[in-house]
Amino acid sequence: MVLFTFVVMLLNAGREERTLGSTAAKAVGFPAVVVVLSVIATVILKTQGLGTAVLNQNITSTADLSKVLFHELLLPFEVTSVLILIAILGAVALARPGGDERARRPGVSK
């Protein structure tokens, strides 16, 4: 997640146009938020034993977790990291200010 935060900062997309929002979104949004919050509050208040936690003795250590991650799941872990790297490079290439130079030059066909 920190990597994606730095990519978003790197892209520097520019300023957004500020709007006041649509009237329909305000008319539907505020009552919907009130309904959702009241349903959540009702569920929380009606649930018995909500604050109890039971400590299980099968606590996984960091060594066990790293063994699973870097030994048994090494290939999916590395494939995911390569895919994320490709996505970041693609986002940087698409968002750079110069754009496609061939598309801007007259007389150059694609």
pLDDT, one tens digit per residue, over 87-107 is 888 877 777 766 555 555 555
More confident residue, 31 or 93: 31
pLDDT confidence tier of residue 43, bands split at 50, 70 and 90: confident
* Residue 37: predicted pLDDT: 95
- pLDDT, tens digit (0-9, with 9 covering 90-100), for 48-90: 766 666 767 777 789 988 888 888 888 988 998 898 888 888 8
Neighbouring residues of 85: CB distance < 8 A, sequence distance ≥ 6? none
